[in-house]
Structure 1
Amino acid sequence: MKSDSGSKRIVRVSPIDAAIAAGLYPVFFYFTNNYTLVNTWEHLGYFALMFLLVPAVVFLIADRVFRWSFLSKWHKYVLPFLNSFVFLFLLKVCLYAGLQKKLILVILVLASVFSFFLYRHLKKLILLQFLLAAIGLFTLVPTVIKQLSFSTEWMKQPDDIASATFKKKPNVYFIEPDGYVNFSELKRGYYNYDNSDFENFVATQGFTHYADFRSNYASTLATNSATFMMKHHYYNKGTSFSEAIDARNVIISDNTVLNVFKKNGYKTHFLAEKPYLLLNRPEMGYDETNLDYGEVGFIGTGLGTRQDLMIPLKQYLAIESTQPKFFFVQIFNPGHIGRRAGKTAGAEEERRLWLESLERGNAVLKDMISAIKENDPEALIVLMADHGGFVGMDYTNQTYEKLQDRDLIYSIFSSNLLIHWPNDDIPEYDTTLISSVNLFRILFAYLTENEEYLEHLQDDESFVIVNKGAPKGVYRYLDNEGKVVFEKL
């Protein structure tokens, strides 16, 4: 079989080397930047298969096929094209979930140009890719060590609340609408919105509203991990305001709140419109869920197709049982404004979109509350948002910047809290309901009729990570009285 000098150069490059070089850096890059999403053996196996083994097989087959005489003139272009295309495509996958057809077309063009004009430099490209992989491994190892060695001391309780025994056992519904700012804040600041229709609805349904209630953290994961452990984690000294180490495992698999309900004989349910909390495939700690792990992608945001929760909720409500039930229901409206600078529509337009989402969320909550009240009139129903809507900013990542505007800070942390107390039996100490970290400790004091649990309430402070405008670190933004401060931990 004849081959020109270019193809001879190409033959010297192993298809296996070309494939591994193309996939190795993207693997290290993704694990370094998304370790909390991929910290399972399943994910490691998936990435090894899809980023390394499958490309290796494809490269080997293509290399053999294009050695056939009638294709041999194209042989010198095959590995350069595959290597550059796969490398860029996998990087795109690591950076952006979804197809992005235009971006794929650009990658296809770039790979074609490289393979046609620069195929002789394939070895140099592979060397560069292995060099990037070495740098990627160098940054990944400290990330893994930090995650695996971080202390779980923050999860320990200061008393015996983990062994709490309930004297009251109503069915408990913990409904979490994402980003629903407190009614008290909706009327002012950057929101300045009349939400009286929904406010009147919940009032007629017997809910108590807790004005000025706030979250302690700026994201779903950070808030929920603290809420379900009833303890502050202070972002685990992390580097992203949206993460806390092993947050999804804490929320879904094993936490003090879930364990206390189980200990008291409750059947537990987790219902969510989207599988956001299942992205790293944590072991399911709830007895029932509407989500299927088979539908959770190994790469993605978990914010795709929305499920109608009224279907599974009504099914569970219809089941007659003497066993008490605990529901954690996650709703993704109203949510928050766009996250990145490149995707923002500007503060005013983002506000308009958020308000539209608020109305959609109100409709869902009305249906849900009505169904629960109709089937379970003596239920303990808690509606608590995880954080604010970030309205007033151009995009949520501005949270990383030092802020001292009171209304912007409350736009981050203001959180709605509404509680339907069974038989209008409202405890006098409900005035201590100020921030999300103490919610369940106060509810457990009510259910156990043991006010001693109130002796160990956490500070009602709010925290965020700042990396622009001040030395990088975790900062206290709101103190116990809700006053704006700026104090580095």
Structure 2
Amino acid sequence: MVMFRKLDIRVIILVFISGLYPAVLLASNNWSLYPLQEILLLLIGTPSVVFLIGLVLFFCAKIIIFLLNVFLLKSKKIVLSSRLLQVISIFYSFAVMMYLLEPLNRSLLGGSSTLLLPIFLLILVVSFLIYRKKGISPFLLFFAILTVSASIQWGWAYYDLNTRTSAGSWYTAGKDHNDKIQLTKKPNIYLLVLEAYTNNHALQKIYNFDNSKFQEKLTQYGFAIHEDVFSNYRNTLTSLVSLFSMQHHYYSISTGKEDALGAREIIGGRGYNSIVDVLKRNGYSIQYISNSDYCYLIGPPIDYAYPERTIFKVFEVFQNETLNRFLSSHFKTYRRSKKKRKDRVYSPYQDALAVLKERISTASGSHEPYFTFFKNPYPGHFGANWDQISSGDLKDYTEKLKKSSEVIIDLSEYIINKDPNALVIWIGDHGVWRYRSVWHGDGDFHQNLKERDVDEELVSYDLFGTFFAVKTPKNIKLPDGPISHVNLFRYIFTALSDNKYPLSDRQLDESIFDRTSNLVAVKNGQPLSQWEDLKRK
């Protein structure tokens, strides 16, 4: 009969830590996307589930050996010895690591999946040879070192964030000023942000596409369209956080890969959000709607948010399709995309539009004012570098632009019919990125652009040029002047407070290229033909 009274403590530690390491590694690179409770679930839940599956595996091994002894082996009995358990735990631990880190392992192999199996088999052979000579201890040390290294990486990222964001608290710099803003007019406000929807000047210069017919139709609904509006920063998070904080951060929060540490907390109201704070103090209810909450983490000031976030969403960091299918079948708002590596999209776009219309009806029927933020994922920008984009790709963008324009018209008409006295804002978050990475090369920025016959003014339009249209109630008029994202709501609050106090804390209307080059591309609504060095205040 096969028996073992208790598991070797080293086996328990090895199996548990084999589940902990992938969780710590992925958390160290993605922790800014998830609130604390989700990160804790990831760190506790992953190794716990791995350990429970390991127990099931050991129990199955026990049953198999028992059956072998009963039915097949007549003279010699075998037992599930401590050494056999150690071998199984080593093999199981490497299998867990390969499975949970499969997308990462595949990317290290240039996207190839065919080499994963032979590499795994080689690891098992080498592991068995090491075990025969050294036992289980080297494997415990190996996984421990990996986990500690990932923890140190995570700690450094957290320290770096605190150093760059907490020092000087750039996003709270205007709080004392904002606390004195009192709104005398309180219409419902709709801030509708479009992904990479650019202005007509940029469309004509970059794509030879004229969007004036759409613009003319929009003006018939009472919208004023401002052509020379530019985002202050060139990707979604860095741009939106400047809009909601009404402060420049000069990419101090940028981490590369178009991410920004702390941005989601500020945009979602977990950190100080200037716009939300002013509106809440003036009696507004706040609602956020999108098909994904990629760009924000909802905090207490937000009264309504869609999609409703499930705590299990954190497990999408593994990018494991089997796990994603299981969780999405049990949690409606976990994720809905069937395509690989699409973890940012987890609610159908049409569902988000339907919810938006419902919430517009709610806002229009309320006696209290509402602020509605809608993040539209379209038309979207290019993911490829400039030299990988063909003329066909350009047409694809303009087709997506046309479809987005239809949504803009449809929603504008719906809002006007439901809420005719609302203040409605359509704005792009940044440019289209047709010339993404055109500046890369051996020379400096200016030299590389010159060699490729691309002028800097064109790149300014491409990276920062944004569509901007606003409809105000009849008794409200925005002040004149160049508008950029960082000052947008200073104009709005000035119009709603009947005085120029909000504009007295105005920031520079300039577009900054990135954190390392320190170049200014646009000043006061004018793209520069020669980008200038940034002079930080």
TM-score (norm 2): 0.76
**Of 249-258 and 479-488, the range deviating more from structure 2:** 479-488
Q: 1:389 aligns with which of 432, 437, 443?
A: 432
Q: 2:12 aligns with which of 12, 16, 37?
A: 16
Q: How is 1:66-215 mapped onto 2 (pairs within 5 angstroms)?
A: 66-67=61-62, 68-70=65-67, 78-92=88-102, 103=113, 107-108=116-117, 110-115=119-124, 118-121=127-130, 123=136, 124=138, 127-149=141-163, 150-151=165-166, 152-157=169-174, 160-189=177-206, 191-215=207-231
Change (3 A) 1:388 1:465: same
2:258 aligned partner, one-letter code? S
SS at match of 1:177: strand
Query: Is the CA contact (8 Å cut-off) linking 1:187 and 1:194 kept in structure 2?
Result: yes
Matched, 1:44 2:58: no
> CA shift at 1:257, angstroms?
0.7
2:42 aligned partner, one-letter code? Y
SS at match of 1:393: coil
Aligned to 2:377: 332
Matched, 1:455 2:500: no
Q: How is 1:385-464 mapped onto 2 (pairs within 5 angstroms)?
A: 385-393=428-436, 402=445, 404=449, 405-406=455-456, 407-423=458-474, 425-427=476-478, 429-433=479-483, 435-464=484-513
SS at match of 1:16: helix
Change (3 A) 1:199 1:233: same
Aligned to 1:221: 237
Separation in 1, partners of 2:388, 2:213: 28
Aligned to 1:371: 414
Aligned length: 463
| Structure 1 unpaired stretches of 5+ | 3-10, 467-471
Query: Is the CA contact (8 Å cut-off) linking 1:174 and 1:382 kept in structure 2?
Result: yes
SS at match of 1:17: helix
1:224 aligned partner, one-letter code? L
> CA shift at 1:356, angstroms?
2.6
Aligned to 1:476: 520
SS at match of 1:327: strand
Separation in 1, partners of 2:129, 2:86: 8
Q: How is 1:269-418 mapped onto 2 (pairs within 5 angstroms)?
A: 269-278=287-296, 281-294=297-310, 297-298=313-314, 299-300=316-317, 301-308=343-350, 309-319=352-362, 320-338=365-383, 346-393=389-436, 402=445, 404=449, 405-406=455-456, 407-418=458-469
Q: How is 1:241-256 mapped onto 2 (pairs within 5 angstroms)?
A: 242-253=258-269, 254-256=272-274
Separation in 1, partners of 2:106, 2:460: 29
Query: Is the CA contact (8 Å cut-off) linking 1:350 and 1:394 kept in structure 2?
Result: no
Aligned to 1:7: none
Separation in 1, partners of 2:181, 2:172: 16
Query: Is the CA contact (8 Å cut-off) linking 2:242 and 2:249 kept in structure 1?
Result: yes
> CA shift at 1:412, angstroms?
1.2
1:58 aligned partner, one-letter code? I
Change (3 A) 1:18 1:115: same
Query: Is the CA contact (8 Å cut-off) linking 2:486 and 2:509 kept in structure 1?
Result: yes
Query: Is the CA contact (8 Å cut-off) linking 2:192 and 2:425 kept in structure 1?
Result: yes
Change (3 A) 1:359 1:231: same
Change (3 A) 1:219 1:296: farther
SS at match of 1:332: strand
Query: Is the CA contact (8 Å cut-off) linking 1:391 and 1:411 kept in structure 2?
Result: yes
> CA shift at 1:382, angstroms?
0.7
Query: Is the CA contact (8 Å cut-off) linking 2:14 and 2:139 kept in structure 1?
Result: no
SS at match of 1:478: strand
Separation in 2, partners of 1:60, 1:227: 51
SS at match of 1:187: helix
Separation in 1, partners of 2:51, 2:518: 44
Query: Is the CA contact (8 Å cut-off) linking 2:482 and 2:509 kept in structure 1?
Result: no
Change (3 A) 1:130 1:194: same
Structure having the higher Rg? 2
SS at match of 2:474: helix
SS at match of 2:533: strand
| Structure 2 unpaired stretches of 5+ | 69-78, 318-342, 450-454
> CA shift at 1:76, angstroms?
7.5
Matched, 1:262 2:280: yes
1:389 aligned partner, one-letter code? V
Query: Is the CA contact (8 Å cut-off) linking 1:218 and 1:241 kept in structure 2?
Result: no
Structure 1, residues 420-452: CA drift from partner, whole Å, max 9, x if none?
Answer: 12128534x33232x110000111000001113
2:522 aligned partner, one-letter code? L
